[in-house]
Every structure is written in structure tokens, then in C-alpha cells.
Amino acid sequence: MQGRCSSPEYETFAKKATDAPKEKRRVGISTGNRVMHTQRTAAYDAKNRLGLPESLPLSWAAFVEAAKNGRALRQRLAEALRGAPEETRAAVNKFIEEQGYKAEAFEEVIAQLTAKEVK
């Protein structure tokens, strides 16, 4: 079973999780767990501007928690960029977009910006 969900900030793709053994012949084994994919790959046409993890359990509570964490990351980034020159802001936005809005990209930029402030 598969499904899609979208808004201006995200587009997700959900399906049942499977474990494929590391053999020559691939056989999918269902775990029964449903997962939501938030990053675009060859298998999933998903989008994410919230800094959501690449996949998370398919439940409203997990999504709300991940979205809350993503919004907190965006807020931390906005605070770190406060007073930064426009070219820095543009470079940060380009980098995060190229990285697919992954939480790790937000964390990396925030760490670099706050390290510059400390010096």
C-alpha cells in the first residue's frame, strides 16, 4: 500500500517497510512497519523543506514531532543568519536546497555560522 501527502512545505511518500536480505536474489520481507519517505530518490518522488529526516514512521504523531523539530532548526538557522550579509544568506539557501533540505545540512550551516560568531 502506498500513499502521497503534500503541502507547500512538504510532499511525502509512504509505503510498508521491507527488509531485503543481502543475497544475489533479492526478496523483500515485510516488517509490517509503515514508513514515510521525505527525500526524493529514484524510488520516491518526495519533497521536504522542513528539515525532516529521510524517513520516519507513518504516524501523525511522528510527523508532527519531526515537523516541530524541523521548524526549530529553521528558527535556529534564522537566528544564526541574523545580521549576515545577503551573499551569505544566498549561499546558505543554495547549499541547503542542494542538500535536499536535510536536517544534517541545517545543522552543518548552523554550526559553521555559530563557530564564526564565537571567534
The helix/strand/coil state of 97 is helix
Q: What is the pLDDT of residues 66-79, one digit of tens each?
A: 999 999 999 999 99
Q: What is the pLDDT of residues 87-117, one digit of tens each?
A: 999 999 999 989 888 888 999 999 998 887 6
> What gap in Å lies between CA 105 and CA 98, rounded to an integer?
9
Which region, left, alpha or beta, applies to residue 116 given φ > 0 means left and ψ of -120 to 50 means alpha? alpha
pLDDT band at residue 1 using 50, 70 and 90 as cut-offs? very low
Q: Provide the b/e sequence for 70-86 (b: ≥16 CB within 10 Å).
A: beebbebbeebbeeeee
> What gap in Å lies between CA 98 and CA 110, rounded to an integer?
16
